Structure 1
Amino acid sequence: MLTRRGVLQSGLSLSALAAFPGHARSDLSLGDGVLTTVSDGSLVLPGDFIFAPMPKDELAVVLQDFDVSQERLTPECNVALYRDGENVVLFDVGAGPDFVPTAGNVTASLDALGLAPEDVTHVVFTHAHPDHIWGLLDDFDEPLFYEATYMMGEAEWDYWWSPDTVNTIQAERVAMAVGARRRMEVIEGSVQLFGDGEEILPGISSVLSAGHTPGHMAFEVRNGSESAMIVGDAIGNHHVALRRPDWLSGSDQDPETAVKARKMLIDRIVSEQLPVIGFHLPDGGMGRIDQGPNGYKFISGDI
């Protein structure tokens, strides 16, 4: 019998799996729950997407320390997955097949863990940029995670849902607005919206971290006495965002507000010694942030 799941799974070719062997990247136990990062692939970006507003001489010194090019960036895309024995929660859904050819691998990564799309009980969005929400739809333009409850911060939803956004957003981001709205229309009748500081699911609380987008959310995941912070794109890389969190970034829609959110999250993560999961942080995106001699630093996997 040809099932919807079977059609979807048939699209996961052996060549695609072979091209991306590291599906499940990092694990962190929180009480009787576990956080895992699963890779959606990576992006290829011009350096100016982030670096354009930064002081070039100082930037060169920072990037040299990290062996990062000013011309070309290839950040990982790490989707956080939380399982507590009752819920299977995805934070964002990746890029899907229509954004860039180097991303869109989240279903293959989940398959490597023995999870099918229908096993996901909740999808919680940090924000509605393409690499985080365009994977919402399957090949039939229906919700890929069709058994899941979809959840998004109210301010983020309102921004991308507004008909004014496509006319007021920067010209180079118009496709982002059109793509976000198209996907949101599919879940309009069922999405659950929330505000800052709410416990949206048992042990999962929202942390408004606007600036990268108008309603960007981070999430504290707590189980028993242990917790971790999922930061989405509010801490968007391991080099300039941590070495110089006060610098404006070209990747942020409201750079000044994003600086405040970045500093707030870093301060909280460091002071509370929280493990951190970042969508574009390296080596699976999971680790910790320490104060270093020249600013903050990300240490992957050491948690």
Structure 2
Amino acid sequence: MKLPRRKFLAGSAALTAGAALGLQSSPAHAQVAFGDMTIDVVSDGFLTLPGSFIFDPMPQDELLPILKTYGQSAEVLTPPCNVTLLRQGDRTILFDVGSGPDFSANSGRLLDSLEALGVAPDDVTDIIFTHAHPDHLWGLLDDFDDPLFPAASYMIGKTEWEYWMDPNTIDTIGGGRTTFAIGAQRRLSMIKDQITLFGDGEEILPGIAARATVGHTPGHMALEVHSGSESVMILGDSIGNDHIAFAKPDWNSGSDQDPETAAKTRTTLMDQLSHEKTRVIGYHLSGNGIGYVDKMADGYAFVAEA
């Protein structure tokens, strides 16, 4: 029997990622339901990063004791990649699409995770990007450079689109991120006729509002999903980890393209989320990324939802 091309690609990606990670065929996920919405947080695997990628700009004498408290190595980071799937009526919505096979050996398993929920690429009706970094965007295309989600419409913040599609970005982004810009332009160009741009504060789909959370990238957006009195904030990378970003949100992080702006954004966002007791989903937060921001005497803490 000859498999359809997309089914073959989905199976190949799952086997490759599963072999690399020693994973079972049905990856764990978390689910949140409110109103007529069902939200699943599914795995795209994880990244392996040098600690210096985040920690280099930070005061080392203060940093190391905090990392020890959290049991976090200063040398190596292995953040999870948590992709959010929302189903409401006839809509199946993805927030970001993971990294695909070309960015990191231990990521790119989104198709496997969706298949475990009975969701095929053809079922996805809408894709909303928080930003255009590789681990959020590069899962957009299949091995033939065709859009992997052929029935989907696409949405991204206007500032984010303009930044990555500017030809000068490749020359100005900095040597360590040049491939980010090349990869983003190539992939976004493939969907330029199907993409809608949005701004801060817009309700971009029923029950989904955009929140500018800039600094990690120039046009980074978080998305607030609400139904009645209930809501959840999909953070993207506006809060990038569950240790130092919470303990010292005002510290500059090497992972942010504009560290000073990102620190201001993060601090303001933490204050709001902790005060309002808003449930959050973080792309790189531990576990399944679902939890709350708790205000502490010094800094904040991530409280994972059981």
Normalising by structure 1, we get a TM-score of: 0.96
Which consecutive residues of structure 1, in runs of 5 or more, have no partner in the other structure? none
Alpha-carbon separation, structure 1, partners of 2:254 and 2:296: 25
Equivalent residue number for residue 35 of structure 1: 39
1:187 paired residue number: 191
Instruction: Return the letter of the residue paired with 1:8.
Output: L
User: 1:182-234: per-residue Cα shift (whole Å, max 9, x none)?
Assistant: 00010011111000000000000000000000000001000122100011000
Aligned-residue sequence identity (percent) comes to 53
Partner residue of 1:274 out of 259, 269, 278: 278
Partner deviation per Cα, 1:227-247 (whole Å, 9 max, x = no partner): 000110000001111110010
Within a 5 Å distance, the mapping from 1:144-293 to structure 2 comes to 144-293=148-297
Three-state SS of the structure 1 residue aligned to 2:302 is strand
CA contact (8 A) 2:55 2:74 kept: yes
What corresponds to 1:4 in structure 2?
5
1:280 Cα shift? 0.2
| Structure 1 equivalent of residue 105 of structure 2 | 101
Q: In the TM superposition, what is the alpha-carbon distance from 1:7 to its structure 2 partner? A: 2.6
Q: Is the 8 A contact 1:24 1:36 kept in 2?
A: no
For structure 1, which segment, 11-20 or 159-168, has the greater mean C-alpha deviation from structure 2 after superposition? 11-20
Alignment check: 8 A CA contact 1:212 1:251 kept:
yes
Question: What amino acid does structure 1 have at the position aligned with 2:194?
Answer: S
The number of equivalent residue pairs is 302
The residue type equivalent to 1:6 in the other structure is K
Say whether residues 1:77 and 2:77 are aligned partners: no
Distance 1:237-1:13 versus aligned 2 partners, 3 A rule: closer
Paired AA for residue 259 in structure 2: P
C-alpha RMSD over aligned residues: 1.4
Q: 2:57 is paired with a residue of what secondary structure? A: coil
Q: Is 1:135 the equivalent of 2:139?
A: yes
Q: Is the 8 A contact 2:66 2:244 kept in 1?
A: yes
Q: Is the 8 A contact 1:31 1:225 kept in 2?
A: no
Q: Taking structure 1 as reference, are residues 72 and 17 closer, same or farther at Cα in structure 2, changes over 3 Å only? A: closer
CA distance in 2, matches of 1:149, 1:258: 29
Q: Does 1:68 align with 2:72?
A: yes
| Maintained 8 Å contact 1:24/1:113 | no
1:103 positional shift: 0.3
- Residue equivalent to 2:114: 110
Query: Aligned AA for 1:153?
Result: G
* Cα distance in 1 between the residues matched to 2:259 and 2:290: 24
Over residues 158-196 of structure 1, what are the superposed CA-to-partner deviations in whole Å (9 max), with x where a residue is unaligned?
000000000001111000000000000100111110000
CA contact (8 A) 2:13 2:112 kept: yes
Q: Is the CA contact (8 Å cut-off) linking 1:25 and 1:283 kept in structure 2?
A: no
Change over 3 Å in CA distance of 1:50–1:12 after alignment to 2: closer
